[in-house]
Amino acid sequence: MADVMLKGIKKSYGPVDVIKGVDIEIKDGEFVVFVGPSGCGKSTLLRMIAGLEDISGGSLEIGGTVVNDIPASQRGIAMVFQSYAIFPHMTVRENVAFGLTIAGASKAEKEEKVAEAARILQMEHLLDRRPSQLSGGQRQRVAIGRAIVRKPEVFLFDEPLSNLDAALRLDMRIEIGKLHKSLGATMVYVTHDQVEAMTLADKIVVLKDGYVQQVGAPMDLYHRPENLFVAGFIGAPSMNFLPVDIVSRDADSAHVQSSLVTQFAAPVWREGIGASGAATLGIRPQDLHPVDSGGILTGNVTLAERLGIETVVDVALSDGTRILCSMAEDRVFEPGQEIHLDFDPARAHLFAQDPQAKAA
């Protein structure tokens, strides 16, 4: 079993605390994705799991054993990096077999394992080529092949697709998803790409400033973000936020309004929403739609981006606040035109005026 448990994990570089106490449970066979802004500590966490960085505090368990002091080579882990470090002077076959060669494997064993990896990654026809004769996606497959032949119980991927163009990323994303299903191995994957995170993950871990903000299935994070940071981070374009006042509240809803927002009842399930006072209203751009008159918000179009499959409209409200509205159709809007927007109140997100993100 290759569960990976992070308990109170900390990392400091000298006086600088980078990972500030992280608890994450990764179950055997699970596909877990780490997301978060640049510098939040994703790669550092992955490198600590791999054994490439010392752990400053807490315990890391793999398969029930504390591995804090066990060297990388004995952790049963293979890591695939963003810059696929494959050797230009070796053929694909030699590159894929590299780890086995170093470990002193026999010729027969190498042939068998390379053949299996090549079959899984559909690159049997590429084995005698050199890296310079491969496309970017094919090179990335070589790097993954090199990880596969080691039969790791845990695969770690650090932005493996970010050097590829959009079409190749899509292909490779599908291949990595298939690989996870066919191997059944535990996978931990770092990405900046929301689509990769949402489509590949069983579980997403949202990180900010060395803290875990929320852990959950992709749709949990999308539909029930626990704080403003997660709400703004998951979903594209980002959720709109507007300050509102609470007029009254009952068990599971609160009437809210502001100088910009017509009064309505928003569902309440998060902690910290009182019977009065200030709160933050969150509305996803996709939940807003234009209406001929009335609506919950009124403003003027500043810009409309027509993408064919969707139209994203940037709207300035009367006090200058900008919000986005995204509709799944091609529509024409003129800059300056007045626009009334409405939405289903059940889709409102109401947040207490707490700190933006967890910091302890």
Ligand X SMILES: Nc1ncnc2c1ncn2[C@@H]1O[C@H](COP(=O)(O)OP(=O)(O)OP(=O)(O)O)[C@@H](O)[C@H]1O
- 123 CB contacts (<8 Å, ≥6 apart)? 92, 138, 141, 142, 145
**Among ligand X, Mg ion, none, partner that 16 touches (CB below 5 to 8 angstroms by kind):** ligand X
Q: 40 or 341: whose CB is closer to Mg ion?
A: 40
Does 191 bind ligand X (CB under 6 A)? Our answer is no
From the list Mg ion, ligand X, none, pick the one residue 40 interacts with, judged by a Cβ distance below 5 to 8 Å according to partner type: ligand X
- Our finding on whether 42 is near ligand X (CB under 6 A) is yes
In the list ligand X, Mg ion, none, the entry touching 38 (Cβ below 5 to 8 angstroms by class) is ligand X
CB of 22 to Mg ion, least distance (A): 15
Least distance between Mg ion and beta carbon 285 (Å): 28
40 lies in the site for ligand X, by CB under 6 A: yes
- As measured in angstroms, the least distance from the Cβ of 18 to ligand X is 4
User: Is-contact 213 206, C-beta < 8 A?
Assistant: yes
Q: Which is nearer to Mg ion, 43 or 240 (CB)?
A: 43
Which of ligand X, Mg ion, none binds 13 (CB below 5-8 Å, type-dependent)? ligand X
Q: Return the axis-axis angle of helices 136-148 and 107-120, rounded to nearest 10°.
A: 130
**Is residue 39 at the binding interface for ligand X, with CB under 6 A as the rule?**
yes
Report whether 127 contacts 47 (CB < 8 A).
no
Q: What is the DSSP letter of 162?
A: T
Least separation in angstroms between residue 72's CB and Mg ion is: 18
**Cβ nearer to Mg ion, comparing 190 with 260:** 190
Q: Which residue is nearest to Mg ion (CB)?
A: 43
Residue 41, interface with ligand X (CB under 6 A)? yes
Shortest Å, Cβ 189 to Mg ion = 12
DSSP string covering 94-108: HHHTHHHHHTT--HH
DSSP secondary structure letters along 21-42: EEEEEE-TT-EEEEE-STTSSH
Is 326 a binding residue for Mg ion by CB under 5 A? The answer is no
Return the one option of Mg ion, ligand X, none that residue 272 interacts with (CB less than 5 to 8 A, by type): none
Shortest Cβ distance from residue 206 to ligand X (Å)? 12
Examine residue 43 and tell whether it contacts Mg ion (CB under 5 A). yes
The smaller minimum CB distance to Mg ion, of residues 36 and 99, is found at: 36
CB half-sphere exposure, 258, CA atoms < 13 A: 18
Residue 216 contacts which entry, Mg ion, ligand X, none (Cβ below 5-8 A, type-dependent): none
Q: What is the chain's length?
A: 360
Closest alpha carbon to 11 in 186, 209, 192, 205: 209
Would you tell me the crossing angle of helices 136-148 and 166-183 to the nearest 10 degrees? 20
Q: Let me know: does 178 contact 22? Beta carbons within 8 Å.
A: no
38 touching ligand X, by CB under 6 A: yes
Q: Does 18 bind ligand X (CB under 6 A)?
A: yes
Nearer to ligand X among residue 171 and residue 193 (C-beta): 193
In the list Mg ion, ligand X, none, the entry touching 240 (Cβ below 5 to 8 angstroms by class) is none
Question: Alpha-carbon distance 97 to 145, whole Å?
Answer: 9
Q: Which of 20, 44, 123, 261 binds ligand X (CB under 6 A)?
A: 44
Are 215 and 24 a contacting pair, CB within 8 Å?
yes
Q: At what angle do helices 166-183 and 107-120 cross, to 10 degrees?
A: 120
Residues 36-53: b if buried by 16+ CB within 10 A, e if exposed = beeebbbbbbbbbbbbeb
Nearer to ligand X, 43 or 227 (CB): 43
Which residues are near ligand X by CB under 6 A? 13, 16, 18, 36, 38-44
Which residues are near Mg ion by CB under 5 A? 43
